[in-house]
Chains A and B, each alone.
Chain A
Amino acid sequence: MMKRSKKAALVLMVPVATLLLAGCGEEREQAMVFTDPSECSAAALNSAAQCEADYAAAQALHPQVAPKYLNKQECEVDFGAGNCETAPQQTTSGGSVFMPMMMGYLAGQMMNRGGANLQQPAAAGAGAGTNVPTQPLYKSRDDRATFRTATNTPVAGGIGPISLKPSQVKPQVGQVVRRGGFGAQAASRNSFGG
């Protein structure tokens, strides 16, 4: 029998790129939700280049902010069968970490730019010229219509322009999902050891 732990995974101590967020005013700002950059380009709210840049930024953020699970079944309970993938930052043991697939993205809307002078791609993080952090969006198994942030904040019932307060959608490191089952078991025991 092995004398060492089966796994030694970290979920809170893992690194995350510091997200540079512009000062969060409480005013609502225009933003957009799309499944992919071609939908975004077709809507002509931002330039095609901006659409691609935002999508790439959201994809880059996805593995960092997506909620993490230590097994695939638990992930699929929340996000539906076939909607979970292996996270790239595997635990050291080779025991994989799972996360939901990205189902869309949120980006700030470049207003009144009329397609001119938009060649510069946005940096990762906040969309250029807006305070809305560009980020991936997800859909939970029991509410297939709604786009949600990685922290489970619903942002839109479909694609297109929306308005929101940037502080409500501030991305955070994806933490392991806590389940009622653990709590229920803990509550049924009075002491540990023996």
Chain B
Amino acid sequence: MKRISVAERANWRAYAEEVGFNFHTFDGEPYWDETAYYQFTLQQIENDLEAPTEELHQMVMDMVGDITRSEEMLTLLNIPRDYWSYVWNSWNKGEPHLYGRMDLVYNGFGPAKLLELNYDTPTSLFETGFFQWVWLEDQIKNGVLPEGADQFNSLHDKIEQAFAHLSLPQPFYFTSVRDNIEDRGTVNYLMDMAAQAGVDVRYIPLEDIGVIADKNGDNEQFVDLDDQPIKGLFKLYPWEFMVQEDFARAITAANTQMIEPAWKMLLSNKGILPLLWARYPNHPNLLPAFFETASSEPFGAGWVRKPLFSREGANVDLITANGEKMSAAGPYSDGRYIRQAFHALPKYRDEYRNADTYAMLGSWVVGDSAAGICIREDATLITKDSSRFLPHIILD
């Protein structure tokens, strides 16, 4: 695993905007960054990333059924009691899932370590599946990279196949928060792949979804702006928010098939990390993790503290083995926390910016298959929503 500086493609920004990648630069700071790429060997990809991703995925899938039946674990994960049977049902009916991303620390040697699972609303999908793929094709065409260069990135193929094989209600709706252009970009890309797979796709902003009830106020159903029932819905909006809001009660009454399904709320929760560690102690791809309780030892060197629910590094505190302290601010400070053993992200030299940079790896899962990776870089040890996205190649 090497970091290699490379010239940017001419006019990539204009191209990005043409294909709807409107968030390539955020608040004047680069998000998509092609001033360098990471290079892996095929063995690193297959042995150290692809196989462990599928193994970790199977490990967590094996735990879902047990969690749905355990009052203790559901409580530890802060799943509201009103949703226990709904979650149990969604698992036992075999409601299908589409995709997820696990975040890993990996430096090219030794086992990759699982930092967390983003199994409900993972983003950076378009950047991985499409834009990074085009970058490689272009750089091969430009003669910048050799013909034999490849990429661990079958995301586009696998998601399109998944949409073709899932038995989704038609029309199938996609929703995201109205004014979030990054989320909208992710949803547009999913709709594009779904359309290519033959799905009748409709977009509705989250805020426009309605609920219709019968005259007794029962049998609530979600509806679109024409009051037509929404029978299938991809929601790029976290389950833990949905179950707290005004329409929460309608979720359990409505017969809307959700992607991701409700049981995914068990896996997009940092609480899965201590549960995994308890079930598979000393697994080479896991870091020690525990729930923080009143009797926990004082937070000390070599540990990271994360809220049960948080995204993009928000509200994470860490103390390195040397006692160096770091924190990321965020809006998720009201819940409970887990602690995870600190494992430093590998450090590289960013020649373009003449600065050190830390790299984190996202490993995608579609259905139950590993489907590629993405790399995020940050000037600090905590990867955040502002962290830059860099492409990668496989070359032996």
Tell me, yes or no, whether A binds B.
yes
Interface centre among A2, A13, A176, A185 (most CB of B within 10 A): A13
Judge whether B136 is part of the interface by a CB distance below 8 angstroms.
Answer: yes
With both beta carbons as reference points, the residue of chain B lying nearest to A70 in the complex is identified as: B196
**Would you give the shortest CB distance from B186 to chain A, in whole angstroms?**
11
Q: Are A13 and B155 in contact (CB under 8 A)?
A: no
Task: Report A1-32 CB contacts with B as 1/0, cut-off 8 Å.
Answer: 01111111111111100000000000000000
Judge whether B368 is part of the interface by a CB distance below 8 angstroms.
Answer: yes
Q: Are B152 and A3 in contact (CB under 8 A)?
A: yes
If the complex has contacts A12-B188, A93-B137, A185-B164, are A193 and B97 also in contact, measured as CB distance less than 8 A?
Answer: yes
Q: Are A178 and B156 in contact (CB under 8 A)?
A: no
With both beta carbons as reference points, the residue of chain A lying nearest to B373 in the complex is identified as: A3
User: Which secondary structure characterizes the binding site on chain A?
Assistant: loop
Q: Which residues of B contact A93 (CB under 8 A)?
A: 137
Q: Which residues of A contact B154 (CB under 8 A)?
A: 3-5
Q: Are B196 and A11 in contact (CB under 8 A)?
A: yes
Q: Are A178 and B198 in contact (CB under 8 A)?
A: yes
Chain A interface: which of B165-173, B175-183, B275-283? B165-173
With both beta carbons as reference points, the residue of chain A lying nearest to B42 in the complex is identified as: A3
Number of residues of chain A lying within 8 A (CB) of chain B: 34
Q: Are B133 and A191 in contact (CB under 8 A)?
A: no
Judge whether B150 is part of the interface by a CB distance below 8 angstroms.
Answer: yes
With both beta carbons as reference points, the residue of chain B lying nearest to A187 in the complex is identified as: B167
In the complex, what distance in Å separates the CA atom of A191 from the CA atom of B162? Answer: 10
**Would you give the shortest CB distance from A157 to chain B, in whole angstroms?**
30
Judge whether B88 is part of the interface by a CB distance below 8 angstroms.
Answer: no
Interface centre among B138, B195, B200 (most CB of A within 10 A): B195
Judge whether B129 is part of the interface by a CB distance below 8 angstroms.
Answer: yes
Interface centre among A3, A12, A94, A181 (most CB of B within 10 A): A3
Judge whether A112 is part of the interface by a CB distance below 8 angstroms.
Answer: no
Task: Tell me which residues from 95 to 114 in chain B have a Cβ below 8 Å from any Cβ of chain A.
Answer: 96-97
Q: Which residues of A contact B36 (CB under 8 A)?
A: none
If the complex has contacts A185-B165, A186-B166, are A11 and B137 also in contact, measured as CB distance less than 8 A?
Answer: no
In the complex, what distance in Å separates the CA atom of A11 from the CA atom of B130? Answer: 12
**Would you give the shortest CB distance from B139 to chain A, in whole angstroms?**
12
In the complex, what distance in Å separates the CA atom of A192 from the CA atom of B98? Answer: 8
Q: Among B137, B164, B188, B372, which residue has its beta carbon within 8 angstroms of that of A186? A: B164
Q: Are B195 and A176 in contact (CB under 8 A)?
A: yes
Q: Which residues of B contact A186 (CB under 8 A)?
A: 164-168, 198-199
In the complex, what distance in Å separates the CA atom of A185 from the CA atom of B19? Answer: 30
Q: Are B368 and A4 in contact (CB under 8 A)?
A: no
Interface centre among A8, A9, A70 (most CB of B within 10 A): A8
Q: Are A14 and B45 in contact (CB under 8 A)?
A: no
Q: Among A2, A14, A189, which residue has its beta carbon within 8 angstroms of that of B165? A: A189
Q: Which residues of B contact A185 (CB under 8 A)?
A: 164-165
Interface centre among B138, B154, B200 (most CB of A within 10 A): B154
Q: Are B367 and A193 in contact (CB under 8 A)?
A: yes
Judge whether B59 is part of the interface by a CB distance below 8 angstroms.
Answer: no
The 8 closest A-B pairs by CB, nearest first: A182-B198, A193-B367, A13-B20, A5-B156, A5-B157, A8-B156, A4-B151, A8-B133
Chain A residues within 8 Å of B, Cβ to Cβ? 2-15, 70, 92-94, 175-176, 178-179, 181-183, 185-187, 189-194
Pull 21 A–B residue pairs with CB atoms less than 8 Å apart, ordered by A: A3-B151, A3-B153, A5-B129, A8-B130, A8-B134, A9-B196, A11-B196, A12-B192, A13-B188, A14-B19, A15-B19, A70-B196, A92-B138, A175-B195, A178-B200, A189-B165, A189-B167, A191-B166, A192-B96, A192-B162, A193-B97
Since A189-B167, A191-B167, A192-B162 are in contact, a sample of 17 more A-B pairs with Cβ atoms closer than 8 Å, ordered by chain A residue number, is: A3-B42, A3-B153, A4-B150, A5-B156, A8-B134, A8-B156, A11-B195, A11-B196, A13-B189, A15-B18, A178-B200, A183-B170, A186-B164, A186-B166, A189-B165, A192-B367, A193-B96
